[in-house]
Structure 1
Amino acid sequence: MSIDGGTSAAVSAGFGADVRTDLGASVDLSVVVPAYNEEGRLRPTLEAICAYLRADPERWGSWELIVVDDGSTDSTAKIAQEAAADEPRIQLITGGTNRGKGHALRRGVLASYGRRVLFTDADLATPIDELARLDERLAASAGDAAIGSRAHPESRIEVHQRRTREWLGRMGNRLIRAVAVSGIQDTQCGFKLFDGDKARAAFADARLDGWGIDVEILRFFRRAGWQVTEVPVRWSHVSGSKVRPADYGKVLLELLRLRARAVRRVDVAVAALFLLASVVLYKDLWADLGDAYLRDAGQDQNQWEWFFAVTADNVVHLRNPLFTTLQNNPDGVNLMANTVMLGLSVPLTPVTLLLGPAVTWALVLTLGLTATAVSWYRLIARRLVANRWAAALGGAFAAFAPPMISHGNAHPNFLVLFMIPLIVDRTLRLCEGRNVVRDGVLLGLFATYQIFLGEEPLLLAAVGMLLFALSYALARRDVARASWRPLLRGIGIALLVCAPLVAFPLGWQFFGPQSYKSVLHGDNAGNSPLAFLQLSGRALMGSDAGADPLAMNRTEQNAFYGWPLIALATAIVIRLWRLALVKALAFTAVAAALLSLGPKFRIPYTDIVLTGPWRGLAHQPLFESVIESRVAMICAPVLGVLLALAADRLAAPRERLMRAAGFAVLAAALIPVVPTPYPVRERIEIPAFIEHGAYRRYLAAGESLVAVPLPSPGSAEALHWQSSTGLDFKVAGGYFNGPWGPDRIGIYGATPRHTSNLLGEVRNTGRVPEIGPNWQAQARADLAAWKAGVVVLAPQYNDGPLYDAVSKLIGRPGERVAGVWVWDVGAPNPPRG
C-alpha cells in the first residue's frame, strides 16, 4: 500500500484528532520506520522486521509496518513499494521534500492504527528482536513507553563508534537531558515502544521536524504524567549512520526554538503587565534619576547606591568584593556582612560604570519586582491552577503584597525574590524523586545564588517551607512517606554543592574583619496583632497616619494585609478546607503570623502581655539577627496561592451570576491593598566642594574626609558624595552593619566615639555644650583614629551650632571653600593632586 503526500496529510490530520476505524482497532502493533536515502539498507531491514513478527504470530497478533520516505533522492521508495507488493501489511508514505526525522516519524505515527507503536531506525542498529524486551518491560510495569537505552548499565554495545565520536555523543546527550528531559539517560536511541493512543496524542502535539523529536515526545509524556521506562538493549554502530555528533547541537537548537514557541501569549501578556505595574510604581524615580530620591527610603537609597558603586569599583580594580575601607576608614566595612546583593551588583557592574549607581538602583527595584512576580506566577501556574489569569493574580499578590511594597522603598534584598519560587519548585521536584541528584545539585546552586542576593529572605523562606512541609505531612501522611527519603537525600546533595561555594564568603562574613555576631533591633521589632488588619501607607485605601503607629518605620510594614483580605482568605480556607494543600497553607500563614509577633506581645486594647513563640528562636544562631516582624512576609505567597485557587475555581464553567458575585468579592478585598506609586523628594544638593573636586588638595593618601555630623543611619549624604565622585575619597563613619564592643554585637553604623556623639547631639538639639581642653584632646584623638585629612560642614539643619562646636573642638575657625566650611586637620603630607 502506498499513500502519496496529499493523502498522507489528510490521514495525519484525521488520526491527530484520534479518529479510529474498525480496521484500526484490530491492529495490535504498528512499526514505523523513517527512511531517507536508505536504498542500501532498507530491504534487509524490512525483511528482518517482517520475519521476526511472522515468526511468533500469537505474541504479536495483527501488525502493520509503515515506511515513511522522507523525500529520498535514491531508490528508497521503490524498494519499499516492492516490499509492500510481497507483504500487504507494509505501507509506504511518500511525498514532499526532505523535512527531517521528526517530520517523518510524525507522519508515520499519526497514520498508524496499532494498540502499540514501535519506531526504529532504518539501519536496525538495535536489532528487531530487542522488541521482546521492550514489550515485556512495558507489560510488566503497566507503563506508557519503553525506550531503548544505550546508557543503561545492562546494555551491550556490540560495535562501538570511534572514541571521539562516542564521547561527543555522550556530552551532547547530557546537555539535552539538562536542558529538556531530566532523569532519562539516553533520549536519542532510535528504538522506542509506546502505547499507541498516547503516542498519537504526543505526535499530534509535536512541532519539531528534526532530531529533537525524541526529546519533544518524551517531554510530552512527562508533562502528561505518563510513565517512561528505560530498557537495556543491544546496539551496534552501523557504518553510514546519518547521525553526527554535531546533530546533538542541532537538537539543542531545536529545543530552544521549541521552548521559545511554547511561550504562551498569555505568559507574555502577564509578564508585560507585571513590568508595567513595576514601572508605574517607580515612575517618579525614573522621571528624574539624577535628583529623585524615594521619600520613605530614609538613608537607604544613599546606602544602596553606594553598595552598587563600591562593588563595581572593586570588580574593575580586581579588589576583594567582600571588604572595603571607603567607609568607616580606617577599620573598613565587611561587605559580605552587609546586604550588598553581590548576585546582582557584580553582573550589573557595566551598568553602574556606564550609567551610574542611581540607574542600577532603579533597575534593580523595577526589574527585580517584575521578575519576582513572574517567578511566582510560573510556580503557581505550573503546579497549582489551570487558569493562567488565576495564577497571574496569585503571582501578583505574592510580589506586590503590602509588605513587599513597603520594602520596595529601601530594601531590594526583600523585594527581589525571584529565586525563592525556583527553590520551592526544585524542592517539590525532590519530593517527586525522579532525579534526586540533578534536582539536588540545582537546589544547591539556587540556594548559593540566593545567598548572594539575600540571606535573611532565604532563611525566612526555609522557615515557611518547613512550616508548610510539616503541616502538609500531617494532612497527607501517604505523600510524606513517599517523599521524605528523596527529599532528605536531595537536601543533602544540595548542601554538599552549596557548602564549598559559600564557605569562604560566609567565613569572611562571620569571622573576617569587621564581622559581628548579631544585630540589635530593640524590644519592639515584632508585629502588633492589629497590624494584620490595618492597611499599609502605600495601599490605595490606606494612609501613613493609620500605619505609622503600628510599624517600626515605613520600610518595615511587614504585615498590613488589611481586614478585607484577611476576611476573604478565611472564607477561602473554610470553603476549600477539604484540600490538604489549603490546610497546610492555613497552618503556615497562622504560624508565621504568630512568630512575627515577637518574643512577647500585647493583646490589643488590654494590658495583657503574652509570651510569643518567637521567644524560642530569638537567641538562636542566625535567628538572633532577624527582625521578627518580617516573618509575616511568609504570608504573602500563602495568600497569593489562596487567591489563585479561588480565582481558578471561579473561572471554571459555572452559573454566570455566581461567577460575577465571586469575582466581585475578590475585587472588593483586593482593591484596598492595590499599591500606589512611590512618592519621591528632591535629593539634597551635592556641595560644590565635593562636586568640583576641591577636596583633593586637603586629602593625602590614606586620609579620610570627616563630614559633620559623621555619616550614620540617620544622615548618610556623605555616601552620595562618594558614589557621585567615583569613590574618590574615604569617609569616617558610615551607614552599614558593623561590630560594637568586646562582644562584637552588630549595630547600624560605625562604633560611636565621643566626638561623633557630641556632633550628633548638637545637630539634633541645636545646643553647644561647654567645650574645654578635655573635649579638644578627645577630638584630636578621634580625628587621629579616623585618619582625618579634612573636616567638612555642608549647609544643613543647625549648621550654625555645628560650626561653633567644630571650631571649638579643633581650636580654630573654619575656612569657607566652595560653599562649605572646611578645617584642614591632615598631616603635612604632599596632597594627592
Structure 2
Amino acid sequence: MTTTDIGAGVRAARGGAGSTPTPGLDPGPRDVEPRGPGPGSLPPRARPTRARRWPAALAVLVAFCGLSVLLFRDGWTDLGGTVYGGGDAVLFSWYLGWTPYALTHGLNPFVTQFLNAPDGVNIMWSTGVPLLGVLAAPITMLAGPLVTFHVLTTLAPALSGWAMFLAVRRWTAALPAAVAGLLYGFGPYLIGASYGHLHLSFVPFPPILLLLMDDLLVRQRNIRRTGVLLGVAVAAQALISEEVLATSAVVAVVAIAILCLQYRDQVRARAGAAIRGLAICAGVAAAALAWPLATQFFGPQRVHGSIQPPDVAVSDLLTFVTPTPLQAFGPDFAVRESLTFTGNAVEVSGYLGLPLLALLLFIAVRLRRNRLVALCAPLAVVAAVLSLGPHLHVGGHNTGIPLPWRVLELGPVLHNALPSRLSLYVVLAAGIMIAIWLDQARPPRLRAVTIGVSVVALVPLVPASLLAFSPATPAFFTGSQVSNALPGGSTALVVPYPYPQQNVAMLWQAQADFRFAIPGCYCTVPDRNGRSSFHPEPDPLNSALIAVATGASTADDALRQPGLRATFDRFDLDAVILGPSDHRDELVKLLTELAGGPGRHVDGVDLWLLDTP
C-alpha cells in the first residue's frame, strides 16, 4: 500500500501520523508527513516487551476481581444462599444447571421438556447462555447452579473490564487502558445488568471483537487466521447473548461507515482482503452455530413476533445526566426523576453525568486529529442516539418524535433488542477516548492534572451497594428424600406455581438435579397463536394456584372454577409438592382437594404422591 495505514495513527495514538509503528507489526509504508506539535503528535514511548506487559495485565485482572468480590460481597459471605437479581437469578441458575445435565444425560441442551410440561421450552428463544453453562459445568457439578451463577456474576465485570483493558492496551500504556477497563466493566450499564441479566453482564467479547476487527480491517496480517478467530468469537458471543451479538454488529457497521467517510481510499484498498476474512468468519460461525440455530428456528416451541414490548426500554434524553438508584452519589430529586423513565429501573443504564460528558466533549475537540478519537467520538454519539429507541422520550414522556432506531427495529433480530442496552457501546467508546487522552499526557504535571480530572469525571459513576436476596430451599430438594420419593422422569406440580413473578420452583427443580419435570415456567414460550409469552397461557389450574398464592382468591372460590379438576388430571402428575409460600393454609386446602387426600410433611415441604394409571 502507498497510503497511510488507517490504524497506524490509531495504534500510534501517542505519536500521531508519523509515529513509529508498534514493534513486530508491519502496517505498511506511509505517505503522510509527521505532524508538528499538537494533539495526536507527541512522540511515542517505547512499548514494553511481552514479558513486561503480562505482569501488568495480571495485576489489572487481580485488581478487577478484587473489586468484583467487594461489589458482590454479600453473596460471598453466604455462598449458595444469597444472589443478586431476584427471579432472573433463579432463571439463569436453572439454565446453568440444565446445560451440563442435558449434555451428561444425552439430551439436547437447546430444548427441554423439564419446564412447561408437557409441552416443553425451546431454550434458544430465551437467554440460556449455553456456553457459560459448559464452561462453568465443573462448578455446577461440585457446588450447584446457584453458586455457579454467583461466581459468574462476580467474574462478569472483572473479565469484561479486563478484556477491555487488553483491547485498549494495543494503543495505550497500561494505566490508561486500566481506566478504560474500569469504566467498561464497572460502569452503569454493567452494574445494572448484574441484577440477574448474566447474558448482558458477561460481555468480554465486544472488546475482543474490536481487536479482531482491527486485525481484519486495519492490520490485515494473516487474514485467514483472523477470519477464523473472528468466527469463533462471533459464535461464542451468540451462545451467550444473540442480542449483544446483533447490537455489536450494528455498531461495527456504523464504525465501518465512519471509517469509509474518513478514509475512503484506504478502505477501498483494503476491502478485498477484509471481505475474504469476513467470508471465513461467516463460514466458521455458521458451522459452529448450525445446531443451536436450527433448533431455534426449526425446532419445537419456536415463537414469532417481538419478545419485548416496543418503545419502553429506551434511554430517556435525560438518562445521560440523571443518576439512578444504581449510583452511590446522586441527589434524591434526581434519583426520583430517573424512576419516572420508562422501562425497568436496572435497564436505565446510560447515565454518564455532566462531568464525564464535558470531558468527552473536550477530548473530542482537543484530540480531533487523533484517528481513534475521530472514530470513537461519532461512534459514541450514534450509539447514544440509537439507545434512545424509536421515539424520543423526555422526562418519562414519549414525545412521538421518530428516531433512527425506528428503522432498525423493522429488521430481523433487532426488533427483539432493547435500545437502552446500546449504552454498552457508548461506554466502550468513551473508555477508549479517555484512555487515549490520558496516554497523551507526557509531562508529570500534565499527567497529574489529567488523572485528577478523570477521577472527578468518573466518581459520579461509583455504584451503590447492590441489593441481594436469599431464596429459601427446603431440605427436601437437596437431600435424599426427593430421590426416594420420586423416580427419575416424574412430573410434579411444584407450588408456588412458577411464573415470572414467582419462579423459585425452577430453582428447587435444578437443585434436585432435575429429578422431575414441572408445569409452568418463566421463559419464552409460544402462546396459542405462536406469539411469544414469558409463561404458559392461563388455564383453570395455574390461574387458581396463582390467585390463591397471592391472596386474590380463597381455596373454596378456586375449587368452584369450571375445568379445574380436568386441567389437573390432564397433566398426568406423579406428585404435588408445596414449598414455603404465602397463604399456605389455603394452598394446602386447595391441593388436598385436588390430590384426593392429605399430603405428608417431609423436610420442609408438603408432599402428595399420586396414583398414576
Asked if TM exceeds 0.5, the reply is: yes
Aligned equivalent of 1:365, options 153, 158, 163:
153
Q: Distance in 2 between matches of 1:592 and 1:510?
A: 29
The answer as to 2:414 corresponding to 1:623 is yes
Equivalent position of 2:99 in the other structure: 311
Equivalent position of 2:65 in the other structure: 275
1:507 Cα deviation (Å)? 0.9
- Check 1:788–1:753 CA distance in 2 against 1; reply closer, same or farther (3 A cut): same
Aligned equivalent of 1:223, options 7, 25, 35:
25
Preserved CA contact (<8 Å) 2:387 2:421: yes
1:635 Cα deviation (Å)? 0.8
> Greater RCO between the two (CA within 8 Å, min separation 6)?
2
Aligned equivalent of 2:215, options 429, 454, 467:
429
The answer as to 2:589 corresponding to 1:799 is no
Equivalent position of 1:750 in the other structure: 536
Aligned equivalent of 1:506, options 279, 290, 293:
293
Equivalent position of 1:679 in the other structure: 467
Preserved CA contact (<8 Å) 2:306 2:532: yes
- Check 1:825–1:782 CA distance in 2 against 1; reply closer, same or farther (3 A cut): farther
Matched length:
573
Mapping for residues 326-341 of structure 1, pairs under 5 Å: 326-341=114-129
1:277 Cα deviation (Å)? 1.3
Aligned equivalent of 2:574, options 789, 796, 799:
789
Q: Distance in 1 between matches of 2:141 and 2:427?
A: 35
The answer as to 2:322 corresponding to 1:534 is yes
- Check 1:260–1:330 CA distance in 2 against 1; reply closer, same or farther (3 A cut): farther
Preserved CA contact (<8 Å) 2:304 2:531: yes
Mapping for residues 510-525 of structure 1, pairs under 5 Å: 510-523=297-310, 524-525=312-313
Unaligned stretches of 5+ residues in structure 1:
1-140, 142-218, 228-257
Aligned equivalent of 1:602, options 393, 399, 405:
393
Preserved CA contact (<8 Å) 2:476 2:605: no
* SS class of match (2:290): helix
Q: Distance in 2 between matches of 1:821 and 1:661?
A: 62
Equivalent position of 1:239 in the other structure: none
User: What CA deviation, in whole Å up to 9, does each residue of 1:612-644 have, x standing for no partner?
Assistant: 222212232111211222122221101111111
Preserved CA contact (<8 Å) 1:766 1:798: no
Preserved CA contact (<8 Å) 1:794 1:821: yes
Q: Distance in 2 between matches of 1:708 and 1:336?
A: 26
Q: Distance in 1 between matches of 2:458 and 2:396?
A: 27
Q: Distance in 1 between matches of 2:291 and 2:564?
A: 38
Q: Distance in 2 between matches of 1:825 and 1:795?
A: 18
Preserved CA contact (<8 Å) 2:120 2:301: yes
- Check 1:395–1:483 CA distance in 2 against 1; reply closer, same or farther (3 A cut): farther
* SS class of match (2:168): helix
1:264 Cα deviation (Å)? 4.0
Aligned equivalent of 2:175, options 351, 375, 389:
389
* SS class of match (1:706): strand
Mapping for residues 581-592 of structure 1, pairs under 5 Å: 581-592=372-383
More strand by share: 1
Preserved CA contact (<8 Å) 2:115 2:517: yes
1:565 Cα deviation (Å)? 2.0
Amino acid at match of 2:432: V
Preserved CA contact (<8 Å) 1:278 1:369: yes
Aligned equivalent of 2:431, options 640, 657, 660:
640
* SS class of match (1:680): coil
Equivalent position of 1:457 in the other structure: 244
Q: Distance in 1 between matches of 2:383 and 2:23?
A: 38
User: What CA deviation, in whole Å up to 9, does each residue of 1:331-362 have, x standing for no partner?
Assistant: 12222333222222113222211222223222
Q: Distance in 1 between matches of 2:56 and 2:393?
A: 47
Preserved CA contact (<8 Å) 1:689 1:818: yes
Amino acid at match of 2:222: N
The answer as to 2:550 corresponding to 1:760 is no
- Check 1:667–1:448 CA distance in 2 against 1; reply closer, same or farther (3 A cut): same
| Two-structure CA RMSD over aligned residues (Å) | 3.0
Q: Distance in 1 between matches of 2:151 and 2:468?
A: 16
Q: Distance in 1 between matches of 2:256 and 2:22?
A: 29
1:765 Cα deviation (Å)? 4.4
Q: Distance in 2 between matches of 1:579 and 1:653?
A: 19
* SS class of match (1:550): coil
Equivalent position of 1:46 in the other structure: none
User: What CA deviation, in whole Å up to 9, does each residue of 1:534-558 have, x standing for no partner?
Assistant: 2232322147755443363344233
Q: Distance in 2 between matches of 1:269 and 1:697?
A: 50
1:795 Cα deviation (Å)? 3.2
User: What CA deviation, in whole Å up to 9, does each residue of 1:256-289 have, x standing for no partner?
Assistant: xx99735443223222211211221122211111
Equivalent position of 1:374 in the other structure: 162
* SS class of match (1:615): helix
Preserved CA contact (<8 Å) 1:377 1:392: yes
Equivalent position of 2:15 in the other structure: none
* SS class of match (2:323): coil
- Check 1:340–1:260 CA distance in 2 against 1; reply closer, same or farther (3 A cut): farther
Amino acid at match of 2:69: V
1:404 Cα deviation (Å)? 0.8
- Check 1:332–1:608 CA distance in 2 against 1; reply closer, same or farther (3 A cut): closer
Q: Distance in 2 between matches of 1:446 and 1:633?
A: 18
User: What CA deviation, in whole Å up to 9, does each residue of 1:72-122 have, x standing for no partner?
Assistant: xxxxxxxxxxxxxxxxxxxxxxxxxxxxxxxxxxxxxxxxxxxxxxxxxxx
Equivalent position of 1:470 in the other structure: 257
Preserved CA contact (<8 Å) 2:117 2:520: yes
- Check 1:417–1:684 CA distance in 2 against 1; reply closer, same or farther (3 A cut): closer
User: What CA deviation, in whole Å up to 9, does each residue of 1:373-432 have, x standing for no partner?
Assistant: 1211111111x32x2201111122112211111111212221222222222211221113
Unaligned stretches of 5+ residues in structure 2:
3-20, 30-47
Query: Whose Rg is larger?
Result: 1
Preserved CA contact (<8 Å) 1:540 1:671: no
- Check 1:745–1:479 CA distance in 2 against 1; reply closer, same or farther (3 A cut): same
Q: Distance in 2 between matches of 1:786 and 1:381?
A: 57
Preserved CA contact (<8 Å) 2:83 2:150: no
* SS class of match (2:25): helix
Deviates most, 588-597 or 666-675: 588-597
Aligned equivalent of 1:285, options 55, 75, 83:
75
1:734 Cα deviation (Å)? 1.3
Q: Distance in 2 between matches of 1:807 and 1:547?
A: 47
- Check 1:696–1:439 CA distance in 2 against 1; reply closer, same or farther (3 A cut): closer
Preserved CA contact (<8 Å) 2:183 2:431: yes
Equivalent position of 1:496 in the other structure: 283
Q: Distance in 1 between matches of 2:587 and 2:337?
A: 36
Q: Distance in 2 between matches of 1:664 and 1:259?
A: 29
Deviates most, 569-578 or 491-500: 569-578
Equivalent position of 2:268 in the other structure: 481
The answer as to 2:353 corresponding to 1:566 is no
TM-score (norm 2): 0.85
User: What CA deviation, in whole Å up to 9, does each residue of 1:46-86 have, x standing for no partner?
Assistant: xxxxxxxxxxxxxxxxxxxxxxxxxxxxxxxxxxxxxxxxx
1:729 Cα deviation (Å)? 1.7
- Check 1:418–1:608 CA distance in 2 against 1; reply closer, same or farther (3 A cut): closer
Q: Distance in 2 between matches of 1:600 and 1:428?
A: 33
- Check 1:330–1:259 CA distance in 2 against 1; reply closer, same or farther (3 A cut): farther
Amino acid at match of 1:487: A
Q: Distance in 2 between matches of 1:695 and 1:269?
A: 46
Aligned equivalent of 2:599, options 815, 820, 827:
815
- Check 1:606–1:339 CA distance in 2 against 1; reply closer, same or farther (3 A cut): closer
Preserved CA contact (<8 Å) 1:369 1:416: yes
The answer as to 2:234 corresponding to 1:447 is yes
- Check 1:421–1:811 CA distance in 2 against 1; reply closer, same or farther (3 A cut): closer
Preserved CA contact (<8 Å) 1:595 1:613: yes
- Check 1:700–1:330 CA distance in 2 against 1; reply closer, same or farther (3 A cut): farther
Aligned equivalent of 2:564, options 744, 765, 779:
779
User: What CA deviation, in whole Å up to 9, does each residue of 1:719-762 have, x standing for no partner?
Assistant: 221122222222111122221222x2222123332321233233
User: What CA deviation, in whole Å up to 9, does each residue of 1:520-579 have, x standing for no partner?
Assistant: 322422221112212232322147755443363344233122333223222222222333
Q: Distance in 2 between matches of 1:225 and 1:618?
A: 38
Deviates most, 395-404 or 793-802: 793-802
Preserved CA contact (<8 Å) 2:115 2:121: yes
Preserved CA contact (<8 Å) 2:110 2:124: yes
